[in-house]
Amino acid sequence: MVVNGQWRGSLHEILCGMWEPSGAHEGIQSVDNDSAGTGSELDSDSDIISRSLAEPELFAQIFTRHASAIGGYTRRRLGLDAVDDVLSETFLVAFRKRATFDGNAESARPWLLGIATRVMHRHRRVEERQWLASAAEPPHSVVSHEESSDARLDASSAVRDLGPRIAALSPKERDVLLLYAWGDLTYEQIADALRMPIGTVRSKLSRVRRKLAPPGSKTAVRVAWMAKEETNAVAG
């Protein structure tokens, strides 16, 4: 489909070969062969994206470097079935908007994770089903003597119990939490990725900690204490 001079084909349309440009099967290599384009592997993401404005094929290196991580993040949030759609959309958007990439940012990963997060909002119902399924998941079976120790069982139980509490977070709180815990982004990177002030990221994460801690637990008390400390520190 051509819209305002831009091509807007659906995934199905592309794969069914209704439109097939020349050279369609050359170019982006698998993760193991990250030599797409002519950019050096030593170039920063920022350099590659900047040069890709004149040489679009260089953008393939950004895919090679980050697709696996973005795909893993997507799978973890929405399941494997959603990876094709979300990853495709994320890199299409990133490619089309590459001129807006902040050249001061060394890595493109926070930017890509931000785009992926927004794309995933369209799949909110899928994610809700994922969290509800997690909530319904039975306890993992104990398979060895070592694993049957109380500490191990407690740890396993603590992780499993997080599911319903994460499910109950607001969408934005969940975005912040998962970009921090699963995306390994810093507060500043999350702020850039989600286009929100860093203070908002800090306060949301602080609130998330309180919500995730089991009520009345030592952790909850500790978290509440830490939040107070943080507030005092910010207040100065």
Closer residue to another protein in complex, CB, 1/234: 1
Structure tokens at 236: 């100065």
Rounded Cα distance between 58 and 228, Å, is: 48
The least CB distance from residue 235 to another protein, in Å, is: 20
Nearest residue to 63 (alpha-carbon basis) of 38, 105, 28, 11: 28
Structure tokens at 217: 């637990």
> Any contact of residue 111 with another protein (CB under 8 A)?
no
Rounded Cα distance between 137 and 132, Å, is: 9
Span from 39-47, 101-109, 122-130, 142-150 in contact with another protein (CB under 8 A): 122-130
Span from 38-46, 124-132, 187-195, 228-236 in contact with another protein (CB under 8 A): 124-132
The least CB distance from residue 38 to another protein, in Å, is: 13
The least CB distance from residue 165 to another protein, in Å, is: 9
Return the amino acid letter for 118: R
Task: Work out which of 95, 105, 202, 230 binds another protein, going by CB under 8 A.
Answer: 95
Closer residue to another protein in complex, CB, 177/236: 177
Nearest residue to 192 (alpha-carbon basis) of 127, 95, 73, 100: 100
18-37: contacts with another protein (CB under 8 A): 18-28, 30-32
57-76: contacts with another protein (CB under 8 A): 57, 59-60, 63, 67-68, 71-73, 75-76
Task: Work out which of 49, 113, 193, 223 binds another protein, going by CB under 8 A.
Answer: 223
Structure tokens at 49: 């994206």
Count the Cβ atoms, other than its own, within 10 Å of residue 156: 14
As a whole number of Å, the end-to-end CA separation of the chain is 56
Closer residue to another protein in complex, CB, 102/137: 137
User: Counting Cβ atoms within 10 Å, is residue 143 exposed (0-12), middle (13-18) or buried (19+)?
Assistant: exposed
Binding mask 126-165 for another protein (x = CB under 8 A): ------xxxxxxxx---------------x--xx--xxx-
Nearest residue to 62 (alpha-carbon basis) of 74, 73, 72, 52: 52
Closer residue to another protein in complex, CB, 233/236: 233
> Any contact of residue 109 with another protein (CB under 8 A)?
no
3-state DSSP assignment of residue 6: strand
167-196: contacts with another protein (CB under 8 A): 169-173, 177-178, 180-182
